Amino acid sequence: MKTILAAYSGVLKGTGSSILSALQDLPVAIWPCRSKMEKHLQVLSVLQWVISFLAMGAACTLLLIYMFCTDCWLIAAIYTAWLIVDWNTPKQGGRRSSWVRSWTMWTYFRDYFPIRLIKTHNLLPSRNYIFGYHPHGVLCFGAFCNFGTEATGFSKKFPGIKPSLATLAGNFRMPVLRDYLMSGGICPVNRNSIDYLLSRNGTGNAVVIVIGGAAESLHCAPGMNTVTLKRRKGFVRLALQKGSDLVPVYSFGENDAYKQVIFEEGTWWRFLQKRLQKMLGFAPCLFHGCGLFFGNSWGIVPFCNPITTIVGEPITVPKIENPTEEMVDLYHVMYIKSLQCLFDKYKTRFGLKESDVLYIQ
């Protein structure tokens, strides 16, 4: 009772220090367990990203259309006009916000799994880079946390390097979602956008491309180490044309975030997935995580398994405006070998066995 009166006295006196000291003296039982509160904040931070990525674009598009049928039509018209004027901004470097990238929310996002970023070699700010990120997983949690935020300290580990995570261009046609993504330094994965970053934006740029894309997401499941890379050579050709160094990146644990139903090749469901992938640009995966309130229930909250992202050694690439197929194949083979070496070197440190192999398809 005395401590409560002391807190009340602090309020009357109007001194912040008195309030803080009085509240700190209150019995611990009055306050929720700190660790539980932090866990709830971690879950909420991850959940907001999942919902934003899956539903924000569609929800905001429908809301904008609805507003045209209400008294708020003028607001909708002004926003639509601005959207048209601002349409090409994502292709021209976007609108990165250091403030958004440094939100405290992203540290809770990082700690939920947790996610770690490991640097193996220095990167020169006088060069540009293409990071090849593997594997895709279902929602690329490691890629977003490491390269779309500052939660794992990318700028401190790689001073002078500015990362730009590339994602589906269709996301930047969605109102509000496009601005949310651009604020994290995320850009469309198309030729115009990447060309701008690697040739008209100076040096010290690192475009992060999830090489396997939607096709790879159909194969991800806990314990699987499979990447789609054998026929993916466009990023190598682009690196040669721009003279940008190639950097292999592998995230251990990315595939463990969700459990997915993987349909066998030749089945009707697999055919439907691939058909929708070609039409929509992304693969409609059938996956589940854990529930919001009960860990043993099904839901869209990912499992809190560690994700460790290793940034490998850069492969120096010469600038060749019109590289031959032989030259592209040469650097593609070099990249695959570098990725395999990176996987083999670190696999036993992050839960895998010495006998585990990286399958490249």
pLDDT 10s digits, 71-85: 999 999 999 999 999
Give the pLDDT confidence of 47-74 residue by residue, as tens digits.
999 999 889 999 999 999 999 999 999 9
> Tell me, what's the pLDDT at 43?
93
> Tell me, what's the pLDDT at 14?
44
pLDDT at 291 over 70: yes
pLDDT at 29 over 60: no
Give the pLDDT confidence of 168-222 residue by residue, as tens digits.
998 999 999 999 999 999 999 998 999 999 998 889 999 999 999 878 888 788 8
Under DSSP, is residue 116 helix (H, G, I), strand (E, B) or coil? Answer: strand
CA dihedral 291, 297, 300, 305 (to 10 degrees): 90
Q: What is the distance between the alpha carbons of residues 55 and 49, in angstroms, rounded to a whole number?
A: 10
Residue 10 confidence class, pLDDT cut points 50, 70, 90: very low
Mean pLDDT over all residues of the chain?
Answer: 88
As a whole number, mean pLDDT of residues 318-340 equals: 97
Residue 268 confidence class, pLDDT cut points 50, 70, 90: confident
Please tell me the pTM assigned to this model: 0.87
pLDDT at 3 over 80: no
> Tell me, what's the pLDDT at 271?
74
pLDDT at 21 over 60: no
Token pair 């090849």 is found at 132
Pairing type for strands 259-260 and 187-188 reads: unpaired
Per the model's pLDDT, the better-predicted residue between 279 and 292 turns out to be: 292
pLDDT at 146 over 90: yes
Question: For residue 355, what is the DSSP state?
Answer: T
Residue 256 confidence class, pLDDT cut points 50, 70, 90: very high
As a whole number, mean pLDDT of residues 151-169 equals: 96
Q: Are 285 and 139 in contact (CB under 8 A)?
A: no
Quote the distance between the C-alpha of residue 328 and its chain's center: 28
Token pair listed for 17: 């220090």
Per the model's pLDDT, the better-predicted residue between 15 and 148 turns out to be: 148
Q: Are 212 and 232 in contact (CB under 8 A)?
A: yes
Residue type, 18: S
> Tell me, what's the pLDDT at 296?
73
pLDDT at 5 over 80: no
> Tell me, what's the pLDDT at 167?
93
> Tell me, what's the pLDDT at 294?
67
pLDDT at 25 over 70: no
> Tell me, what's the pLDDT at 280?
67
